[in-house]
Amino acid sequence: MSKTVFLFPGQGAQYVGMAQKFYDSYEVSRAVFEKASKLSGYSMEELCFTENSRLDETRYTQPALLTACCAILAAVRGEGIQAEAAAGLSLGEYCALTAAGAFEFEDALRTVCERGAYMQEAVPEGQGMMAAVLSRRPLPVEEICESVPGIVSVANDNCPGQKVISGETEAVKTAANKLLEAGAARVVPLKVSGPFHSPMLKEAGEKLKGVLEQIPLKTPELTFVSNVTARAESDPEHIKGLLARQVCSSVLWRQSMEYLIAEGADTFIEIGPGKTLCGFLKKIDRTARAFSVETPEDLAQVKRML
């Protein structure tokens, strides 16, 4: 039996104008933005639709991206498209849990506002960084990171041929040079404001845990696959613990997709800005059907094809 999965991108996918066509065309999408503006205390429309420097600041990026993805999700569901499972990369987990009915949008937004602030404040600017490791053959990325003095570890296992490392700036640079010597095709620094998904974010995770304890979370109505375990998780309190751990532990994206495929998922719909997750999926399993919904035109095409 066919099984559809909603996928949601993480930080880095944001751009000025994301979801604006949905805002202009769908009342349900506009309502999400209006609610976000009221809850956040600033204009989410201005943040997402006009040129500004704040959109790339973590404390603003995270609520903006959540809002854009949930606005598009509202339109997708308004067109009758449903899924049996949901997953999101890093920040995208909050969108996935909202899609699964575990979070109310208001509670997800309040949480990511705090999450973004904690993650931005965790490490002084310049002391940490992330880099994508691209290779045509398997490399011992974990072992090379462990051999380097200082803090550097694997932050993301995205797909065959791509992992992301994160940690102290000098340690990441040293690991990058060693990886190139070991045969990496490229090591590309990422435009992020901190060493996310590394032990340097442990304090941010502890603060986030305190926030999550005050936020109601229900049992997901869809299958929800965690970044931390790459397995389906359904217990609300356990999921809260995983969300707190997630900011300082590796994102097991490749393993999460492999798990969903093994469980019968064959159709994946990426909801939000960009097509990064569809690209990862095609490298994980070429037979999986992958669609992205970034514009109303994309939505119309997906509706026809499904």
257 near 5, Cβ under 8 Å? no
Distance (Å, whole) CA 116 – CA 272: 18
Examine the residue annotation and report whether 90 is marked as an active-site residue of this protein: yes
- From residue 194, how far is each of 15, 42, 149, 204 by CA, in Å? 19, 24, 19, 12
**Rounded to 5°, angle at Cα 252 from 250 and 255:** 160
Distance (Å, whole) CA 58 – CA 81: 31
Residue whose tokens read 């094809």: 305
Identify the active-site residue in 135, 197, 226, 249. Answer: 197
Examine the residue annotation and report whether 238 is marked as an active-site residue of this protein: no
| CA-atom Rg of the chain in angstroms | 18
Identify the active-site residue in 29, 40, 90, 193. Answer: 90
Torsional class of 278: left (φ above 0), alpha (ψ -120 to 50), beta (otherwise): alpha
* Residues classed as catalytic: 90, 197
